[in-house]
Amino acid sequence: MKKVLLILPAYNEEGNILNTVKQILEFRGIEDVQVDYVVINDGSTDSTEAICKKNGLNCLTLVQNLGIGGAVQTGYIYAVKGGYDIAVQFDGDGQHDINSLPQLIAPILAGKADFTVGSRFLEKKDTFRSTLMRRIGIKWLSCLIRLVSALHLADVTSGYRAANKAAIAFLARNYPMDYPEPESAVALKKAGFRIKEVQVNMFERATGKSSINFGKSIYYMIKVSLAIVCAGIQRKEKVIHADTASD
């Protein structure tokens, strides 16, 4: 029986978190796979924590807001301590489709990948439609990542991602703090992990607002581009071989 942990970072998600967890609990599951979850309440100032406590959700509350990177890294540390075989980043805002979990973790279960990225763009889908600015940004970051690491990803900002035990341990030690998806993908690639992109389904956010608005987009692009370049030129921490990464 494989143990899978869904890591749900949540900052001011009072309108979404209960329904997101409900969808996880109603998920029919995967044969020979135990699916658990943990909500990482990232210092929310709304009633997210109260809702989690009132409804008995498995929740860790950070004493202050660390941002998405700190929240997700906390989840990876939790996964290490819990001995989980696979950890999955799963947004607390309801955008990720739990029914796509089987295809997301399938390459890891089959020993064909150490880390998978759920993509909105490998196939033509009408469920999720990004803004023009976001699509341009994703294309730019995709080209930059390919240039510095030879990693081909269509959906570099996707937060729907899965890691095996070796990748979990790596990310628990090494995780960018701000908007970490592109930078961490480069770090994983340079460390020798096998990364595979798979098609998943995503939805529009039900309530609340994204942490990245138009005013922050230019600053975000400059900052992330520099972070990707820095990650690309850093020395490898350790090359992970397939026989150990897939254990």
Range with the poorest average pLDDT among 57-61, 70-74, 230-234:
230-234
Range in 21-30, 43-52, 232-241 with the lowest mean pLDDT = 232-241
Give the model's pLDDT for residue 210: 52
Helical (H) or strand (E) element with 13: none
pLDDT for residue 238? 55
Is the separation of the CB atoms in 105 and 196 below 8 Å? no
Whole-number Å distance between alpha carbons of 70 and 7: 12
Distance of CA 127 to the CA centre of its chain: 19
Mean pLDDT of the chain: 88
Q: Is the pLDDT of residue 236 over 70?
A: no
Q: pTM for the whole thing? A: 0.86
Res 177: pLDDT: 84
Split at pLDDT 50, 70, 90, the class of 241 is very low
Per-residue model confidence (pLDDT) at position 244: 44
- Token pair of 197, please? 């992109």
Residue type, 237: E
Report the range of poorest mean pLDDT among 125-129, 155-159, 224-228, 232-236. Answer: 125-129
Residues facing residue 10 across a β-bridge: 41
Q: Which domains does the chain have, with CATH numbers?
A: 2-245 (3.90.550.10)
Structure confidence by residue, pLDDT tens digits, 141-198: 899 999 989 899 999 989 999 999 999 999 999 898 876 899 999 999 999 999 999 9
pLDDT on residue 125: 58
Q: Which residue has the higher pLDDT, 129 or 234?
A: 234
Residue 60 has pLDDT above 90, yes or no: yes
- Residue 198, both tokens: 């798979």
| Strands 33-41 and 2-10, sheet pairing | parallel
**26 secondary structure, DSSP code:** H
CB 93 within 8 A of CB 206: yes
CA distances from 21 to 32, 90, 119 (A): 21, 10, 22
Highest mean pLDDT among 32-41, 183-192, 202-211: 32-41
